[in-house]
A and B are shown apart, each in its own frame.
Chain A
Amino acid sequence: MLLKRERLTPDTEIETIIIGLGNPLRRDDGIGVVIVETLKESSRLPEQITVIDAGTSDLEALLLMQGYQRVFLIDAADFGGEPGDWRCISLDDISFIPDVLTKYGSFHNAGLRDAIALGQTLEILPKEIFIYAIQPQDTQVSVGLSKPNSVVVGEIMEDLLLRLGREQNLDRSSIEQKAEE
């Protein structure tokens, strides 16, 4: 799946943070945490990328993304898909954040929606925000992902790593181009 928005990034190397959200004690609600923990172990993760498990603290996520230019949030979300379906949505592609995120239904008392709305009001959000939203099968209190969710962990990681590599190359070529000028 490609990003809807494919364009050259700004002329400085973009500082990027990846934040996993959710509660691993509520099965698929914890997929964001599982993905970031797996990502941290990956040798392909670019060194300069910050990866953080913020658990269920959406306000903490807002504080963590401050100062970065690009954030990838990974979270379970009910968007009416089949269990294991996932989307990567750019915040720029969402016209009405509160309505859309209500529809996308974060499991943390819409805390992420509120945190993003607060960040927008205070103008402290990174320029680029992407949300990986994964449709859960089971969010009861228990540990371990459901099968439909566990099988997409690798797929999402691959998508994210490809995206990071590709965008870093774009960043680099943009910087090199600037230097040549």
Chain B
Amino acid sequence: MGKDNRERLEIDVQHITRVEGHGNIVIDALDGKIKKCELQIVEAPRFFEAILRGQPYQNASHISSRICGICAVTHATTSLRASEKALGIEPTNQTTQLRKLNLCAEMLDSHILHAYMLVAPDLLGVGSVLPLAKSSPEVVRRALKMKKVAGDLSAAIGGRHTHPIAMTVGGFTHFPDRDELSQLLGRLEDLRSDIDETVKLFKSLSFPTFERETEYIALQTEDEYCLLDGRITSSEGGSWPIEQYLEVTNESMVDHSTAKHAQNLLSSYMVGALARFKLQFYKLHPIAKATAQSLGITSDCINPYMITIAQVIECIHYTEDAISIIEHLIKDGIKDEAPILPTRLSGEGVGACEAPRGTLFHHYVIEDGIITEANCIIPTAQNLANIEVDMKELVPTMMENPLDEIQLALEMLVRAYDPCISCSTHRLDLRVD
């Protein structure tokens, strides 16, 4: 396409497609200078914290799991960890392993959805997954097959597809039996060939090249690619206990968004697959590391469009992680453990997990078994400021490109972050005196 010479650039994308929730992109630039560059979040704020207040702690994880239909397991697990820390409960190793297994399932489910259904259509130039299903039905069938394995694994552990019901404070109320686990193990082993095909597909696609230094944040533990607990760590060198999450997120309100913006050591930061990949590359499964090399991505990558590639690599890691956890569970035998009871009924706790889109925090104050204060900080809310800074740097590099190219590049940038706008909007806390 030819270059356009223009003094003024105006872009107004209402309701970006293929993201969860409603967001707009608004750009106004004159003579190469950006006057306005906003990712407007217009979704009505969702008062989830208000619903949690006044609830018995036992209900919190079930309510939280309804915040998001994609990250239901992560919300539930993070909620459980917040309650357990508040009430002095230390879960058993089996409970932690089962939770990690379910988090692996959710990561796979969400990453496959994002890579195949939301990102691939842009890179293949087909607009959406429907024409892709017509032109390459085998590709979409493969994605659905992979999603089904992840969903069935989640249902076996959580007792229900999508919104787990068997996960409770202190443990589980239902356990998968040996046969179920063996069957799932076989299906996960079969998944390896589908993941190989996925790697081939994404290797053949060309991602936009846009690079920008920023801060990357993820949870980390000493010995493994972290899914839950651990410490908050930054690419800029900091490390904080989970309880100090507010010192990292530093949320502030902005006029054009119903979701807050977060900022730590730099002007903005990124959470999610690329942040985890960069910070914990050396802890990835060897096959995932080798695949990263073949896909041409290293821990030095600062291209946000490559978040999808980091997700593909994480799919390998989480599949191998899930296989390993199931093998251990089968070897050790699943014990019918009763949930551990609280040592107290009042306290304060912060839970943190890595959701598909990044670090998720739940913070509860519990008094006599009732939640009196709740705060949830969602990955997308932490990424919003970073997306805007990306947009501000990307637009001046494209001023002479055709308008539709700039618009597509911006939409693809937003989609790369896999934003879940519906659950990130929670700004208002109204009090009427």
Listed in ascending order, the chain A residues whose CB lies under 8 Å from chain B are 23-25, 52-57, 59-60, 62-64, 66, 108-109, 114, 117-118, 121-122, 124, 141-143
Question: A55-B72, A122-B137, A141-B47 in contact; A25/B63 too (CB < 8 A)?
Answer: yes
Question: A118-B129, A141-B46 in contact; A52/B63 too (CB < 8 A)?
Answer: no
**Contact partner, A121, options B67, B70, B137, Cβ 8 Å:** B137
- A121 and B161 contact, CB distance less than 8 A: no
**How many Å lie between the Cα of A124 and that of B160 in the bound state?**
22
Of B141-149, B251-259, B339-347, the one contacting chain A is: B141-149
- A118 and B48 contact, CB distance less than 8 A: no
- A25 and B161 contact, CB distance less than 8 A: no
- A25 and B48 contact, CB distance less than 8 A: yes
**How many Å lie between the Cα of A142 and that of B45 in the bound state?**
12
Report whether over half of chain B's contact residues are helix, strand or loop; otherwise say mixed: helix
Q: Which of B118-166 contact A (CB under 8 A)?
A: 129-130, 133-134, 137, 140-141, 144, 147-148, 151, 160-163
Q: What chain B residues lie within 8 Å of A143 (beta carbons)?
A: 51, 63
Extra contacts, 18 of them, besides A25-B46, A56-B162, A63-B151 (Cβ < 8 A), are A25-B66, A53-B162, A53-B163, A55-B162, A56-B69, A57-B162, A60-B151, A64-B161, A109-B20, A114-B130, A121-B130, A121-B133, A121-B134, A122-B137, A122-B144, A141-B50, A141-B51, A143-B63
**Contact partner, B147, options A55, A63, A108, A121, Cβ 8 Å:** A63
- CB nearest neighbor in B for A98: B130
Q: What chain B residues lie within 8 Å of A54 (beta carbons)?
A: 161-162
- B160 and A53 contact, CB distance less than 8 A: yes
**Interface check B26, CB cutoff 8 A:** no
28 sample A-B contacts, Cβ–Cβ < 8 Å, listed by A number: A24-B66, A25-B66, A55-B66, A56-B68, A56-B162, A57-B70, A57-B161, A57-B162, A59-B113, A59-B117, A59-B147, A60-B151, A62-B144, A63-B144, A63-B147, A63-B151, A64-B151, A64-B161, A108-B69, A114-B129, A114-B130, A118-B130, A118-B133, A118-B140, A122-B133, A124-B141, A141-B47, A142-B51
